[in-house]
Structure 1
Amino acid sequence: MKTSSVIARERGTDLLTVRNLHVEGFSDERWHPIVRGVDFSLKRGEVLGLIGESGAGKSTIGLAAMGYAKPGCRITQGSVAFDGADLLSMSEARRRRLRGSRIAYVAQSAAAWFNPAHRLLDQTVETAVAHGIASRGEANRDAVELYKRLQLPEPETIGFRYPHQVSGGQLQRAMTAMAMACRPDLIVFDEPTTALDVTTQVEVLASIRRIVEDFNTAAIYVTHDLAVVAQMADRIMVLRHGQTVEEAGTRQMLAAPTQEYTRTLWAVRKLAKLEIEARDHLLTIDNVTAAYAGRVKVLVDVSIKVPRGRTVALVGESGSGKSTLARVITGLLPAISGSISFDAQPLPLSLRQRSKDLLRRIQMIYQSPDSALNPRQTVEDIIARPLEFYLGLKGEQRDRRIGELMHMIEMDESFLDRLPGELSGGQKQRICIARALAANPDLIICDEVTSALDQIVQEEILKLLMHLQRELGVSYIFITHDIATVRAIADKVVVMHQGKVVEQGSKTEVLTTPHAAYTELLLSSVPEMDPDWLTQLLAKRKNQGILDEAG
C-alpha cells in the first residue's frame, strides 16, 4: 500500500501551524465569536490534546485545523499552515484532495457519519481507492488488518455488515479504521472513545497511539476525559470560551497547572452517592431472553430489580447486552421469554401493546444526540412535543414548562430557536435530557447520557439527576462505562457480559474487592491521570496473557 504523503515523514519536523485563529457562529440573527485568537503548532509524530468545557471551541478548532468550518460557522481571521501551505487561502478543490488522504477526521458520533445504505468495508476503503493510494484488493486487505488492530470482532467479515448491524462502540472503531486507511499525516480525533466501554477503550487507545507512533502521524486529540488525554497527548491545551487558558507538556500540566480554571478541571468528579435501602421495586425483570430476528440470543435469562426512586447502573463492555436490555424494557425489542412487571403490574412486552400513559412513564435518553434529535426541528419544537403529546399542554402553560426545563438543564431560553446543528455535543445531550423530563416519567433509562459531556458539565448533570430523583422519586437505569459515574450516581450495580448478568448487588458490594473476574477486568481498565498508566497496564496484561502481540 502506498503512503499518502509524497515526502518523507521525519519525526519532529513542523507539520501544522495555527496563528490568530478566529471562528464565529451564527445565531439569533447575528454572528457570535466561538474561537478567539488561538495559536498552536504541531510536529510530525506529536499529539496535542484539546480539553475544556462544552462550548469551549475544542471541536471547532479541530475542524479549523483541516481548513473547515461547519455549517453556521465561519473562519474570520488567522492562518492554518499545513506542511507549508495555508489551508484557508488555497482552493476548495485542493483542500478536498488533502482531506481524507493526508488529513483525516474521526468524529464523536460515528452513527451520524456512516451511510446506513452501504457496508462498513465499502466506506472504510472508499477514500484510499478514490485517491489512488491503493487498489480495491489492497485496500480491502488493509482494512481487515486495521479491524484486527482495533480489536473488532470477526475482522475478516465484519466489513460486510451495515452500520445498524454493529454496536455503537464497534461502529466508532470502524470509523477510526476508515480515517487511518490512507495513513494520513494529520488526524483530528474528536472524542473517538466516547462511545466505548473501558475495556474496549484500552485497546482502541493503544491502537491509536501505536499507529500514530509507527507512521509519525501528527494528531489533535479532542476530549473531555482528562485521564484519556493523559495517555494520548504529548502536550495539552486547556480552552475556555474559545481562548487558550494554558498550554504545556502533559506531565508538567498534570503535575503543576498554573491557572485556577485548569486546577478546577482537575478537581471535578468527586461526587459520591449515599446508598439507601429501597423497600419496594418499580421494575422487575424476570428471566428475560431476547434475540434479534429470532436468531442469535443477545440476552439470556436476565433478572434485575429496579428499586423505586433509586438508580441501577448497568456496566459491561460493548456488545454485552446493556443497550439491548434497554430496548427490551421500552418494548422496542419484545422478549421471546420471561416477564417484566412495572409498578406491580405486568408490562406488555411489545411497544404497540402499551397505553400512552405507560409510554409516558418510561422514557429513554439515547447515547448519541446526533441520531436522537431531528436536525430540522428547533430546540423549542423538540421539547414541546412530549409536553403536547403526553400532557396536553398548550399555549402559556406549555411555554412556561419549556422555560422551566431549560432552566433545569442549565441552558437559557435564547437556545430555543436554534437547530441541533447549531449546538455543541454537550448542549445537544442536555436537550435530550430535557425532552425525557418533559413527560414526567417514573423511570428514565439513561444510555451513556454523560459520555459526550466535559467533566464539569458531567458533574452538573449528575447533580441534576440526583436532585430530580430526591424531589420527584424518579428511578434510573444508568447504562455507562464510566466507573466514576457509577460511584457518583448508583445505588445498585449490574455487571453484564455476553448477554448475561455476571454480578449484581449494591454499589459497595460490587465495587469492593474481591470482584468477579470480569468485574475486575472492567475496573482495572478505568484510565487514571497518570501518563504511564496505559503503558503499564498493557505490559501487565501481556505478561498475564490477556493481550496478544497485536494487542
Structure 2
Amino acid sequence: MTEPLLQVSDLSVSYRQGLGWRRVVEGVSFAIRRGEVLGLVGESGCGKSTVALQLLGFRHGSLRTDSGKISLEGTDVLGLDRAGLDRMRGAEVSFVPQNPTTALNPGMRVGAQIDEILSTHGRESRERTREMFGLVGLPTTDDFLRRYPHQLSGGQQQRVCIAMALACDPRFVVLDEPTTGLDVTTQEQIVDLLVDLRARLGMSMLYVTHDLGLLSQIADRIGVMYAGQMVEIAPTDDLFADPRHPYTRGLIGALPRLDSDDRAVKPLRGLLQREGLPQGCPFAPRCDFALPRCFEEPQKLARVKERHDAACWRVPDLPPNSAPASLKGGIEMALERAEPLLSVQKLSVTYGSGRRAFRALKDVSIDVQKRETLALVGESGSGKSTLARAIAGMLVPSAGVIRLRGAELQSQVKQRSQEQRRLIQFIFQNPDASLNPRATVGRSLARPLEFFFPGNTEGRAEKIREALAEVRLDAGYAARYPDQLSGGERQRVAIARALIAEPDLLLCDEVLSALDVSVQASILDLLQRLKSETGIAMLFISHDLAVVRMLADRVCVLFRGEVMEIGSREEVYSPPFHPYTHSLLEAVSTPLKKGGAPRSSRVLGTASGFGCPYAGRCPVEIAGLCQTEPPPLRQSGRGHAIRCHHSLEELDKRTRHARREDRQTHENHES
C-alpha cells in the first residue's frame, strides 16, 4: 500500500463564541490516496466545510486549530506561513466553491480571472486559459473569454470555477457543495465533467455535499460526520448497501428515491442541538437504538468489516438495515375537476423591450384544484419562478389571465384586494433573505396577523404559538432572531409565516434545494402532513424529481417558458415521456446508480427559436420539422398532455427502446 496523498490526523477545531470557544470539529482523521475521491456528508453544522477549508490552511480570526495534523505529501499544511500557503493554494491544492456567482469577481472578465491565477504561479496565461476552458467544455473564443460572470449561466460559471481550480495542475482538489442549487441537468453535466477530468488527469478530491445520491456517482469512499465527529467511513457501495451507524441509516432512509412508488420518507428524529450534546455519543439523543451507556461513553471509529469503520459500540446488536417505515404523509384522493382554485390561461411574461425583449413564459396554461399539489419542474431558466411570481402579483404578465376562485386577479399585487393577497402566500427558496434579520421570529409572525386581521388583537400570542407548533417548533422560538436558527428552522419559520395568514394556496419556490437531506426530509414530511391535515393547495417548484414524486398530485414540466408535459404524477413518471422529461429523469442522482458510460439521452445544442424550444438538444428530433414548426399538444385522454411532433405511441416506443439501450450500455461498460 502506497503512502496516501493527503493524511488528516486527530483534527480538532474551535470557533470563538462570546468570551469562550466552541469545539466544532473533534478528532477527525482520514486519508485520501492518489486518484481517489472521498465524499464527506452530514447535516448542516456538522463541521464538514470547516474540515474542507482546513485542508487549504484557512485561518479565520475567530477560528483556532486545537490539535491535529494535515499532511499533503509530507508538507505540514497547518505549519505553513502565509507565503507558503500562497504558493500551495492553486498549485498543489485548489478549491471549488459552492456559489460561483459570489466566488467570481463580477468586475473582471472570466478569461482574465484564469489569467490571474496562472500569472500568480508563474505560468503562461492566455493559451493555457483557452486550454482550460476547452477542458471543462466551455467555448474558447475571444468573445467568450471577454464575458463577465453575469453573462454566463450558473452551470457555465461553475465550469469557470473548475477551470480556475485546475489551471495549475494541482494534485488535490477540495469541492464544497459545487452543485447545490443547480438544476438536475446542469448538475449531471458538472458531475460528468468531474468524473471525466478525474479519469483523464488522475486528480484526488474531497467532495463535500449533503447529496448522498450524487456522492454515489463520483466518490470511491464516503465519510459521514455528525456534530463535528466522523461517525462512519466506508467504500461507497458498501456504505449504501450496509450502513452500520444509526445516523448513516437515518440519512439514507431520509433520502427521496425516484425508483420507489412510496410517497413517504422517514425523517431523523429531532434536530442537531449543539448546546445539549451528551458526554458520550453525540447522536444518542436522536438514536432509536441508544442505551444509557451511549449517553456516557464517547465513541471512536472502529473497524466493523474490511475498509469499513463506524463509531458505535452497538453495531453487532443492530438489526439488519431495512427500507424506511412508511409514514404515508401524502394523501391520495380523487380530486374533483370542478372549478379550480387557481386558473392560469395563456400567460406570457416578457422581460425588457424592443430588440432586447426576452419572453420568459409563452402561453402557459395550468390550473390547481383545492387540496391539490401541482409541481413545476424544469432546469434553471425554464420559467418556474417567473410563473410563481406572476401568480403572486410580483411580475406583470404581457398577456394572459389569472383567476382565483373564479375571480380575475389584477396583475400587480398592490391592486389586489386584501382578501386575495391573504389567500395566496409565497414561501421563498432562501429564508436567510426572506426573514428580517432584525426582527424576532415572533415579530415576523405577528406582521401577517396585523395586516390581514387588524381588528383581532386578542389572542395573537396564542396564534403565534399555534403557528410554531404546527411546524414543530416550541413557543420559545418566538424570542429568537433568524441568525440563532439553523437553516431548517428558518425554513420552518418561513412556512409558519405563510400559514398564519390562513391561505388557500402556497407558492413554494425551491424551498428544499439548499437544505441537507435530513432537514429536507423533515420539511417534506411537514408539507405532507400540512397537506393531509389542512387540505391546503400548493404550487411546488423544484428541480428535484425524486422530491416531486413524493409530494405532487400532478406535475407540469417547463422548458424555456413553455409547457412540455403535464399530467398526474403516475402519468408523468411513466412512459410515454416528452424527450425533455426523459432527460430530466435520467439525470436524477440515485444511490448506487452506476455511471461512467456514455449517456445517449443527452444531446447538447441550442434551439432555433422558431419551432420546438427543445430542438437542438432533442435526441429524437425530426429534421426540417422540429426546428421550424411549433409542436402540437397531444392529449392522452386522461388529462395527460405532451407537446411534441411525435405521436404518443412513437414516444412510448422510443422511450422503452432508449431504456433498453441504456441498460445494455451500462452492462457492457461494467463488464
For the criterion TM > 0.5, the same-fold answer is yes
Report if the CA contact (8 A) 2:133-2:163 is conserved: no
Q: Quote the Cα distance in structure 2 between the aligned partners of 1:340 and 1:275.
A: 27
Report if the CA contact (8 A) 1:320-1:499 is conserved: yes
Moved more, 93-102 or 235-244: 93-102
Is 2:95 the partner of 1:34?
Answer: no
Relative distance call for 1:539 and 1:460 in structure 2 (3 A) is same
Is 2:127 the partner of 1:141?
Answer: no
- Counterpart of 1:4? none
What CA deviation, in whole Å up to 9, does each residue of 1:287-315 have, x standing for no partner? 11122213122211111112233211111
Three-state SS of the structure 1 residue aligned to 2:130 is: helix
- Counterpart of 1:6? none
Report if the CA contact (8 A) 2:432-2:482 is conserved: no
Letter in 2 for 1:58: K
- Counterpart of 1:284? 343
Relative distance call for 1:254 and 1:141 in structure 2 (3 A) is same
Moved more, 411-420 or 460-469: 411-420
What CA deviation, in whole Å up to 9, does each residue of 1:198-229 have, x standing for no partner? 22222211101222332222211112222211
Q: Quote the Cα distance in structure 2 between the aligned partners of 1:103 and 1:235.
A: 20
In the TM superposition, residue 496 of structure 1 has moved relative to its aligned partner by 1.0
TM-score (norm 2): 0.69
1:221 equivalent among 184, 194, 207: 207
In the TM superposition, residue 501 of structure 1 has moved relative to its aligned partner by 0.2
Report if the CA contact (8 A) 1:387-1:398 is conserved: no
Is 2:452 the partner of 1:463?
Answer: no
- Counterpart of 2:263? 271
Q: Quote the Cα distance in structure 2 between the aligned partners of 1:440 and 1:50.
A: 41
- Counterpart of 1:301? 363
Q: Quote the Cα distance in structure 2 between the aligned partners of 1:200 and 1:355.
A: 40
In the TM superposition, residue 126 of structure 1 has moved relative to its aligned partner by 4.0
1:520 equivalent among 582, 585, 597: 582
In the TM superposition, residue 526 of structure 1 has moved relative to its aligned partner by 1.7
- Counterpart of 1:234? 220
Relative distance call for 1:133 and 1:291 in structure 2 (3 A) is farther
Aligned residue pairs total: 529
Report if the CA contact (8 A) 2:377-2:543 is conserved: yes
Report if the CA contact (8 A) 1:79-1:88 is conserved: yes
Letter in 2 for 1:145: G
- Counterpart of 2:596? 535
What CA deviation, in whole Å up to 9, does each residue of 1:82-113 have, x standing for no partner? 33233323223433443344333333334444
1:349 equivalent among 411, 431, 435: 411
- Counterpart of 1:475? 537
- Counterpart of 1:94? 84
Moved more, 190-199 or 359-368: 359-368
Residue identity over aligned pairs, in percent, reads: 40
Three-state SS of the structure 2 residue aligned to 1:538 is: coil
Relative distance call for 1:110 and 1:366 in structure 2 (3 A) is farther
Moved more, 243-252 or 121-130: 121-130
Ranked by relative contact order (alpha carbons within 8 Å, sequence separation 6 or more), the top structure is: 1
Report if the CA contact (8 A) 2:441-2:482 is conserved: no
2:73 equivalent among 83, 86, 101: 83
2:44 equivalent among 50, 54, 57: 54
Three-state SS of the structure 2 residue aligned to 1:534 is: coil
RMSD value, Cα: 3.7
- Counterpart of 1:3? none
Moved more, 170-179 or 29-38: 170-179
In the TM superposition, residue 351 of structure 1 has moved relative to its aligned partner by 4.5
TM-score (norm 1): 0.83
Larger radius of gyration: 2
In the TM superposition, residue 63 of structure 1 has moved relative to its aligned partner by 2.0
In the TM superposition, residue 408 of structure 1 has moved relative to its aligned partner by 4.9
Moved more, 33-42 or 331-340: 331-340
Report if the CA contact (8 A) 1:125-1:143 is conserved: no
Q: Quote the Cα distance in structure 2 between the aligned partners of 1:368 and 1:319.
A: 18
Three-state SS of the structure 2 residue aligned to 1:148 is: coil
In the TM superposition, residue 370 of structure 1 has moved relative to its aligned partner by 5.8
1:18 equivalent among 8, 13, 23: 8
Report if the CA contact (8 A) 2:39-2:206 is conserved: yes
Q: Quote the Cα distance in structure 2 between the aligned partners of 1:155 and 1:352.
A: 47
Q: Quote the Cα distance in structure 1 between the aligned partners of 2:167 and 2:347.
A: 41
Report if the CA contact (8 A) 2:348-2:360 is conserved: yes
In the TM superposition, residue 249 of structure 1 has moved relative to its aligned partner by 1.4
Q: Quote the Cα distance in structure 2 between the aligned partners of 1:71 and 1:395.
A: 47
Q: Quote the Cα distance in structure 1 between the aligned partners of 2:123 and 2:438.
A: 40
In the TM superposition, residue 54 of structure 1 has moved relative to its aligned partner by 2.8
Q: Which runs of 5+ in 2 are unaligned?
A: 257-261, 265-329, 604-616, 621-671
- Counterpart of 1:8? none
Report if the CA contact (8 A) 2:491-2:511 is conserved: yes
- Counterpart of 1:243? 229
